Amino acid sequence: MDAKRAAAERAVEWLEDGMTVGLGTGSTVYHFIQAVGRKVADGLTIKAVATSVRSEQLARQLGIPMISFSDVEDIDVTIDGADEVDPEWNLIKGGGGALLREKIVADASKRLIVIIDESKLVRHLGQFPLPVEVVPFAFELTQRKLRQLGCELRMRMAADAQPYRTDNGNFTMDCEFGPIEQPGLLADALHRIPGVVEHGLFIGMAAQVIVGRSDGTVDVLDRPRP
């Protein structure tokens, strides 16, 4: 079995009747939503919210009951992917273009479970460029501020050669910092740039990491103790 699919299908075991579930975004979460759809067809009763338009569309196609965020009191668990996970379970997310909504939903959840394949486990974050969502207004000034933090960056482009727009209408800058040895300090510095809406560093948010292996096995890792 594909490593991503193996991790995704294992994550379904954490769902229970009556839960409100956050659905993440990305290639691994695609398999998870497919698995949830099969469980719902078999009688699982949940409500869900999604972190992107495409995840919501897929969930609706599969018959997963979706609710408005205005009707959400608590999110019991969110299942989402990650582009990188370090030994302290700091994450880089946003390769799928939904980092702001992913962070809002993760922050509102009682538990964030991250599903990845083994290639996403890294010693230091930074092999994958860090996505940073910025407002289009005066984005050139924001780019300069980002470069002053020591990164090389490029604006993410869409298939039509126009700047990629997030579901929120913003731009995404993919920033290469090299090895990020102090992600908390970098996160604080990014938040001090006015044009930055949000960044893809998720610090101390994951409760569990489910790792799919190339041989089809799955490791379920609990959060390291401080």
CA dihedral sign, ordered 101, 102, 105, 107 = negative
Q: Tell me: do 49 and 74 sit in the same domain.
A: yes
> Which of 66, 65, 58, 71 has the alpha carbon at shortest distance from 44?
65
Q: Tell me: do 102 and 52 sit in the same domain.
A: yes
For residues 81-102, average pLDDT? 95
pLDDT of residue 221: 87
Query: By percentage, how much of the chain surpasses pLDDT 70?
Result: 98
Q: Tell me: do 33 and 136 sit in the same domain.
A: no
pLDDT of residue 46: 97
Alpha carbon 108 to its chain centroid, in Å, reads 14
Instruction: Give a yes or no: residue 220 inside a domain.
Output: no
Q: Tell me: do 81 and 36 sit in the same domain.
A: yes
| CATH number of domain containing 73 | 3.40.50.1360
Q: Which of 1-5, 61-65, 139-143 has the lowest mean pLDDT?
A: 1-5
Instruction: Give a yes or no: residue 24 inside a domain.
Output: yes
Q: Tell me: do 144 and 182 sit in the same domain.
A: yes
Instruction: State the Cα–Cα distance between residues 34 and 50, nearest whole angstrom.
Output: 14
Q: Tell me: do 9 and 93 sit in the same domain.
A: yes
Mean pLDDT of the residues in the chain:
95
Q: Are 66 and 47 in contact (CB under 8 A)?
A: yes
Instruction: Give a yes or no: residue 221 inside a domain.
Output: no
Tokens, residue 28: 């691994």
> Which of 88, 84, 87, 76 has the alpha carbon at shortest distance from 113?
76
Domains of the chain: total: 2
Packed helices 3-11 and 27-41: angle between N→C axes, nearest 10 degrees? 40
Q: Tell me: do 98 and 184 sit in the same domain.
A: no
Instruction: Give a yes or no: residue 226 inside a domain.
Output: no
Tokens, residue 81: 């992917």
User: Would you say residue 131 has pLDDT above 90?
Assistant: yes
Q: Tell me: do 20 and 115 sit in the same domain.
A: yes
Q: How confident is the model at residue 226 (pLDDT cuts 50, 70, 90)?
A: low
- Residues with a catalytic annotation lie at 102
Instruction: Give a yes or no: residue 106 inside a domain.
Output: yes
- Domain carrying residue 12: 3-121+203-214
Residue whose entry in the numeric block shows the structure tokens 């018959």: 63
Q: Tell me: do 113 and 147 sit in the same domain.
A: no
User: Would you say residue 191 has pLDDT above 90?
Assistant: yes
Q: How confident is the model at residue 223 (pLDDT cuts 50, 70, 90)?
A: confident
User: Would you say residue 224 has pLDDT above 90?
Assistant: no
Q: Tell me: do 22 and 64 sit in the same domain.
A: yes
Q: Tell me: do 7 and 109 sit in the same domain.
A: yes
User: Would you say residue 76 has pLDDT above 70?
Assistant: yes
Tokens, residue 61: 């196609």
Instruction: State the Cα–Cα distance between residues 33 and 21, nearest whole angstrom.
Output: 11
pLDDT of residue 216: 85
